[in-house]
């Protein structure tokens, strides 16, 4: 019983670590997808938690049933001949996500340290390149060292904010819709779950079948749903200036828990760096299969090509890149459903 419990717990933590990227930890995702909904934000977050829990458990169950060893095995079974377009879309999502993380790192050092954002991008890029060393061993080591620190810090800050939450605080004016994100609560919820399931699916379909993990996958979804609910409740009391900040949660921490700002800046940068490293490694590994002559130069080239896109800005990229791939994922889900009718 104990070994089974720890296996399921490990998978739940892995799901949470995959989901809590910089978009979530900064508050930008929650503001753009849920705070724009005004009074319907709570309903949307509850539905998101339920959908995320169901989808994570469903993907893991299918991965066990089909004995998949990789994301590509899963796509082949799920989509058939549509596997290659879906694989290309995944690679493009990783590239877009890398640009988002670099932009976020630049914006963070500019806002907190008041220095040129290129220094933040360079630091994040350098750590990502180091993580690509040793055929993935660098990435594993990076995650083992940094992800627990990031998760513990973020959860501690969220609990602290929730304890100081005043239910009687007047709700803020809904954040303005931006980019490809509108104000339809159902569509926003499905888009949010759809693009977040990309990373979760890559994780859950690559784990060995001996790990089981259906309950752990569901548990990770439940935890994310609860965490997001409390964060949205806190963010809903923020002034409009706070909701329009580059890092809404950091703005809120500075107002309510000033002593935790340094810790949250650290956690936020770790979220940016670890997500960037994972995206760069996954993208470079896939790119090397198509262009083996590039070899070890692939991470550096991909990083260089992502910098111009990163210059578009953290909040802008989240408003455009994430919902765009959310729409793409929904299209592929419809294709998968139709192919089984």
pLDDT tens for 15-30 read 887 787 778 888 899 9
Please answer whether residues 174 and 309 qualify as being in contact, where contact means their C-beta atoms are separated by less than 8 angstroms: no
Side-chain half-sphere CA neighbours of 100 within 13 A = 27
Q: Which two tokens stand for residue 290?
A: 């198509």
- Average pLDDT (263-285) is 84
Task: Compute CA distances 262 → 55, 154, 157, 265, 266, whole Å.
Answer: 35, 12, 11, 5, 6
Burial of residue 85 (number of CB atoms within 10 Å: 0-12, 13-18, 19+): middle
For residue 218, CA distances in Å to 51, 57, 204 come to: 10, 5, 11
Instruction: State whether the Cα torsion 92-95-97-99 is positive or negative.
Output: negative
Q: What is the C-alpha separation between 110 and 116, in angstroms, rounded?
A: 6
Asked whether 201 and 63 are in contact (CB, 8 A), the reply is no
Tens-place pLDDT, residues 29-74: 999 999 999 889 999 999 999 999 999 999 999 988 998 877 888 8
CA distance 173 to 183: 13
Q: What does the alpha-carbon distance between residue 7 and residue 64 come to, in Å, rounded to a whole number?
A: 15
The domains found in the chain, sorted by start residue, are 2-338 (1.20.1740.10)
**Those residues with Cβ within 8 angstroms of residue 257's Cβ, 6 or more apart along the chain or in another chain:** 157, 160, 161, 164
Lowest model confidence (mean pLDDT) among 98-112, 126-140, 183-197, 243-257: 126-140
Angle of CA points 287, 93, 104, to nearest 5°: 110
Q: Indicate the range of 38-42, 117-121, 156-160 predicted with least confidence.
A: 156-160
More confident residue, 20 or 214: 214
Contact 214, 61 (CB under 8 A): yes
What single-letter DSSP state applies at residue 169? S
Percent of the chain past pLDDT 70, that is, above it, reads 89
Gap between the Cα atoms of 71 and 204, Å rounded:
8
How confident is the model over 202-225, as a mean pLDDT? Answer: 84
Q: Could you tell me what percent of the chain has a pLDDT over 90?
A: 31
- Cβ of 165: how many Cβ atoms within 10 Å? 14
């Amino acid at each position: 019983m104990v070994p089974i419990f720890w296996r399921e717990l490990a998978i739940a933590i892995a799901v949470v670590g995959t989901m809590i990227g910089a978009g979530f930890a900064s508050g930008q995702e929650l503001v753009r997808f849920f705070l724009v909904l005004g009074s319907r934000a709570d309903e949307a977050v509850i539905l998101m938690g339920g959908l995320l829990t169901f989808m994570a458990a469903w993907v893991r169950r299918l991965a066990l049933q089909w004995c998949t060893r990789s994301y590509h095995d899963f796509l082949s079974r799920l989509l058939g001949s549509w596997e290659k377009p879906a694989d290309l879309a995944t690679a493009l999502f990783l590239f877009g996500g890398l640009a988002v993380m670099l932009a976020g790192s630049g914006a963070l050092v500019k806002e907190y340290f008041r220095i040129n954002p290129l220094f933040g991008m360079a630091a994040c890029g350098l750590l990502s390149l180091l993580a690509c060393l040793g055929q993935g061993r660098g990435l594993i080591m990076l995650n083992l060292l940094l992800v627990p620190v990031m998760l513990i810090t973020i959860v501690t800050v969220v609990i602290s904010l929730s304890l100081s939450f005043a239910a009687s605080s007047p709700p803020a004016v809904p954040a303005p819709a931006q980019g490809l994100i509108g104000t339809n609560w159902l569509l926003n919820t499905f888009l949010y779950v759809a693009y977040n399931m990309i990373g979760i699916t890559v994780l859950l379909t690559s784990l060995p079948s001996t790990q089981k993990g259906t309950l752990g996958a569901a548990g990770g979804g439940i935890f994310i749903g609860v965490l997001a609910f409390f964060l949205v409740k806190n963010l809903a009391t923020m002034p409009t200036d706070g909701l329009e900040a580059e890092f809404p949660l950091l703005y809120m921490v500075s107002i309510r828990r000033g002593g935790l700002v340094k810790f949250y800046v650290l956690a936020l940068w770790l979220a940016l760096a670890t997500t960037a490293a994972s995206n760069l490694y996954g993208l470079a590994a896939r790119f090397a299969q198509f262009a083996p002559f590039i070899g070890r130069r692939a991470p550096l080239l991909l990083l260089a090509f992502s910098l111009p896109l990163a210059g578009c800005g953290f909040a802008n990229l989240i408003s455009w890149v994430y919902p765009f791939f959310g729409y793409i994922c929904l299209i592929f889900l419809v294709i998968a459903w139709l192919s089984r009718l």
